[in-house]
Amino acid sequence: MIALTAATLFTPLERIDHPLLVLEDGVIRELTTRGDRSLPAGTEFIDLKDAILVPGYIDLHIHGAAGHDVMEADPDALPDMERLLAHHGVTSYLPTTVTAPLDDTLTALERLADAIETAQKHPPRPGRARPLGIHLEGPFLSHAKRGVHPPELLLPPSIETFERFWQAARGHISMMTIAPELPGARELITVAAHHHVCVSLGHSDADLAAAHQGVEAGARHATHTFNAMRALDHRNPGILGCVLSDKRVTADIIADGIHVHPSMIQLFLQAKGPNKAVLITDAISATGMPDGHYRLGRLAVDVRDGRCESGGVLAGSVLTLDRAVRNIMQFAEWPLDLAVRMATVNPAKVLHQEKKIGVIAPGAAADLVAVSPSGDVLRTFTGGAAN
């Protein structure tokens, strides 16, 4: 049994001063305050002093880090990446594919399914984030808004192809990005939603009607809002008119100040509010590494001064989720607790896992981050084990 205390705790929906958190077998057993509880003999007591305890961060969209890509075969790739993520407060994540040859994608899905099942069987893993499921980004994307996804490898939405992905991943696809305007997209959205996949609108040139039709078919999220989407127009609002105004839709954003201007991040936050906005990184293998040449799937990416480009087009980021939280505090002047929601309980709700992760409550996983008042990560606990 472990007992933690700190100056403050954000659940993150509630603030508790002088908290006492009791952890056992990787689970939060009790949340109280220091004056209300005497601890049994043998309890390991950790005083985090002036730190603030928040839930472990959750990244729904990440392609790589620490020099590795999630689709590569190197057995050290995910462990190295997961150690870097934990260092930045991330305790769980969705490894995210990029459009690739069909056989490459199927093989990667099988490897990622192995990693997910291994993590499920052997918790906790000190100092490592754990993969929750897979985010399938591509190949069902718009040619007009493909970003760096190779045009020759994009495929029309197909239930048959999706079922091949689903079988290769052994049911571990948690999220799928799709352009709703493509022929066959609405039928596939309905099938994927029936499989309990969070269908996310993205890489799309949809008009407003097509976007709403995607939501009616079962889509309920949006991928890296503003990026790889038809631009917002006041007379023809397109997909962004749906994403920003439809209360059924949660939406994520890359808050690095490169992908989206801070003023547009403010607009996004005003539209979606503190309960529907989600932070992601869209990070690639260069994250945590010096400037240079890296890979995103099979794509060559040049990284300089925090900007990742392939052929002159933005190709992911080197953003970390703790930096994204701090950027929200700076760009929007949001307090720490609201910024933290975007990296914890909100992505957990997207995955329908808010009773297990993204919150500090009895019965939830003991995934925690100790941060400073300015949002700097001081210590990360994955399954109750410290990094």
Sheet-wide strand order for 44-47 = 27-33, 19-24, 2-5, 44-47
333: buried, middle or exposed (CB in 10 Å: 19+, 13-18, 0-12)? exposed
The answer to whether 98 touches 317, Cβ cutoff 8 Å, is no
Compute the average pLDDT of residues 1-12: 96
Cα dihedral 240→332→349→171 (10° resolution): 60
Q: What is the pLDDT of residue 42?
A: 82
Peptide bond into 180 cis (omega under 30): no
Task: Give residue 218's region: left, alpha or beta (phi > 0; psi -120 to 50).
Answer: left
Is the pLDDT assigned to residue 36 strictly greater than 80? no
- Cα–Cα distance, 67 to 65 (Å, whole number): 5
**13 — pLDDT class (breaks 50, 70, 90):** very high
Q: Which residues contact 208 (CB under 8 A, 6 or more apart)?
A: 236, 237, 238, 239, 241, 242
Residues of the chain above pLDDT 90, percent: 94
Compute the average pLDDT of residues 275-292: 98
The answer to whether 7 touches 54, Cβ cutoff 8 Å, is no
Please write the tens of the pLDDT for every residue from 149-207: 999 999 999 999 999 999 999 999 999 999 999 999 999 999 999 999 999 999 999 99
Question: Is 59 one of the annotated active-site residues of the chain?
Answer: no
The answer to whether 193 touches 154, Cβ cutoff 8 Å, is no
Q: What is the pLDDT of residue 135?
A: 98
Please give the structure tokens belonging to residue 316: 């992911």
Please give the structure tokens belonging to residue 96: 């995210």
**124 — pLDDT class (breaks 50, 70, 90):** confident
The full set of domains in the chain, from first to last, is 56-358 (3.20.20.140)
- Cα–Cα distance, 33 to 18 (Å, whole number): 6
Is the pLDDT assigned to residue 146 strictly greater than 90? yes
Q: Which residues contact 59 (CB under 8 A, 6 or more apart)?
A: 85, 90, 92, 93, 94, 129, 280, 281, 283, 321, 343, 347
Q: What is the pLDDT of residue 99?
A: 97
> Please, what is the end-to-end C-alpha distance for the chain in angstroms?
17
As a whole number, the mean pLDDT across the chain is 96
Give DSSP secondary structure letters for 286-349: TTTS-SEEEEETTEEEEEETTEEEETTEE--B---HHHHHHHHHHHS---HHHHHHTTTHHHHH
DSSP H helical ranges for 59-204: 77-87, 102-121, 159-168, 185-194
Is the pLDDT assigned to residue 40 strictly greater than 80? no
Q: What is the pLDDT of residue 200?
A: 98
Catalytic residue among 246, 282, 322, 367: 282
Compute the average pLDDT of residues 261-281: 98
Q: Which residues contact 160 (CB under 8 A, 6 or more apart)?
A: none
Please write the tens of the pLDDT for every residue from 47-93: 999 999 999 999 999 999 999 999 999 999 999 999 999 999 999 99
> Which pTM was predicted?
0.97
Is the pLDDT assigned to residue 145 strictly greater than 90? yes
- Cα–Cα distance, 28 to 360 (Å, whole number): 7
Any idea which of 28-32, 39-43, 220-224, 352-356 has the lowest mean pLDDT? Answer: 39-43
Is the pLDDT assigned to residue 46 strictly greater than 90? yes
Q: What is the pLDDT of residue 35?
A: 80
Cα dihedral 231→233→236→242 (10° resolution): 70
Q: What is the pLDDT of residue 34?
A: 86
- Cα–Cα distance, 177 to 189 (Å, whole number): 10
| Coil, helix or strand at residue 81 | helix
